[in-house]
Structure 1
């Protein structure tokens, strides 16, 4: 398993967690804190604490996602594997295609021979 594959798996997990945290939030302050309902929320940490936690976790996951993306870019460029694509290989030489002349056909000659043979 290459380093890039590990970074890719971590990026997918962090992106999924970031989506979940953002979807749980409510722009008006309801979100997860209002789903517990009533006085029980005050015992769990309060509405303000839940909003702070979701806000901090959003920024933390977004920062972690950015760092993982940049680190995966470094992992790609420092790989010692061979390049399979000629487009990515700077040492590859391209050879021009040989110029082949197109066959010329005389449309009048073809139609007259077809008419002559049909008669």
Structure 2
């Protein structure tokens, strides 16, 4: 359900951007540039401006309400859940290689090694 809210909010955001760009600003906006003159002739300049302003405020209000309502659908984290990550799961499953322990010193004397006999001197 949370994903549905996010998609709707994204669509509203794109529509809001387009509506704001179409609005008549001090410099004329994009309505004159994109052939919006037909709309201003049909409804009149004042009506078009009022309609675009009402649509803008309606989209802003809808986005604000959807953002607040989507907070209710975010899953609350469980206290004992811990971190859910693929890396954490792999780290828990992987065994650490054992470090070979140093041999304990023995108390028995080691056998004497025989050394090769030295050559006799003449």
The verdict on a shared fold, with TM-score over 0.5 as the criterion, is yes
How many Å separate the matches in 2 of 1:47 and 1:71? 36
TM-score (normalised: structure 2):
0.55
How many Å separate the matches in 1 of 2:67 and 2:40? 38
User: Relative contact order: is structure 1 or structure 2 higher (C-alpha 8 Å, sep ≥ 6)?
Assistant: 1
Alpha-carbon distance, 1:93 to partner: 6.9
Q: Deviations over 1:29-71 (max 9, x none)?
A: 7335545477x55641011111111111110000000011111
TM-score (normalised: structure 1):
0.56
The structure whose residues are more often helix, as a share, is 1
Larger Rg computed on CA atoms: 2
Alpha-carbon contact 1:21-1:58 (below 8 Å) kept: yes
Partner in structure 2 of residue 73 of structure 1: 71
Partner in structure 1 of residue 54 of structure 2: 56
Which of 78, 84, 91 lines up with 1:89 in the alignment? Answer: 78
How many Å separate the matches in 2 of 1:70 and 1:77? 14
Alpha-carbon contact 1:33-1:51 (below 8 Å) kept: no
> Secondary structure of 1:21's partner?
helix
How many Å separate the matches in 1 of 2:8 and 2:14? 10
Distance change in 2, residues 1:43/1:71 (3 Å): same
| Consecutive unaligned residues in structure 2, runs of 5 or more | 84-122
Q: Deviation above 2 Å: which 4+ runs of structure 1?
A: 29-38, 40-43, 91-94
| Consecutive unaligned residues in structure 1, runs of 5 or more | 79-87, 95-119
